[in-house]
Amino acid sequence: MSQKLFDRNPDLRRLREEGYAVRIRSGFLVMQVPYVDGKGEVRLGSLISSLTLAGDVTQRPDTHVVQWDGGYPCGKDGKEIEALRHGSGDFNLGSGLTAKFTFSCKPPEGYTDYHGKMTTYAGVIAGAAAVLKPELKLRSYAAPEPEETTVFNYTETASDRAGIGALADRLRNDRVVFIGLGGTGAYALDLVAKTPVPEIRLIDGDDFLTHNAFRAPGAASLDELRQV
């Protein structure tokens, strides 16, 4: 799924073509970036951005804020880069993806695409690392990680917007059975189908007739109702 996003979208594809170690995980865009920690040592952290998609096409980023997993980045003088500071905490984003900080770096015109957003932050964060270790390459041309296994036909970005990625993860290995798909069961099924549960079993011996259609979510066509 994520490889198709890189193939289809020029801003994402350009990041990989330019050698940035970038991937999509749990609906987030994640880039590996070198930085200098408080002890003056060069380390690697993860720059994380939410994704705004129309199907499989990227849109203008809906926020200039990013998340960061790693120590707080410092300049070559060992002082924390205050221009980035926004927030801190223990953020569980789901699928093993975590973050420690949120950063804010907003140009007056905002960001028009994800290439501009990610490279701007990477430049600020990795600047000191490039001075201390000139041989270190920000653009590592790292091989893309294996694609995530997903039950969805397109990238699920609702959980990261709502901040419930870790909660949704609890269903990732479950099996759900619905016995009866009347008014309550049909609506519950519609909700569960939007979670990462890998298997849903449906048990209902009734025919799907007109009165059922008026109790179910969505709108069945006449052709579907005629197929009794």
In a domain, 65, yes or no: yes
Mean pLDDT to the nearest integer, 23-47? 93
- Domain assignment of residue 68, yes or no: yes
Domain tally for the chain? Answer: 2
What pLDDT digit, counting tens, does each position of 97-130 carry?
999 999 999 999 999 999 999 999 999 999 999 8
Q: Identify the pLDDT of residue 134.
A: 75
Tens of pLDDT, residues 62-79: 999 999 999 999 998 889
- Rounded Cα distance, 4 and 12, in Å: 10
Residue 158: inside a domain, yes or no?
Answer: no
Could you tell me if 192 and 90 lie in one domain? no
Same domain, 73 and 181: no
Could you give the percent of the chain with pLDDT greater than 90?
56
Residue 145 has what pLDDT?
59
Average pLDDT rounded to a whole number, residues 158-163: 79
Domain contains 160: no
Whether residue 142 has pLDDT greater than 60? no
Mean pLDDT across the stretch 199-224? 89
CA distance 208 to 186: 12
112-126, 158-172, 202-216: the lowest-pLDDT one = 158-172
**Do residues 170 and 164 touch, judged by C-beta distance below 8 A?**
no
Question: Residue 214 domain-assigned?
Answer: yes
Average pLDDT, the chain: 89
My answer on whether 90 and 148 are in the same domain is: yes
**Residue 36: inside a domain:** yes
Whether residues 14 and 120 share a domain: the answer is: yes
Instruction: Let me know if residue 147 belongs to a domain.
Output: yes
Q: Are residues 148 and 177 in the same domain?
A: no
Residues 190 and 148 in one domain: no
Closest CA to 177 of 160, 147, 205, 197: 197
Domain residue limits at 109: 2-152
Note whether 30 and 128 are same-domain residues: yes
120 and 177 in a common domain: no
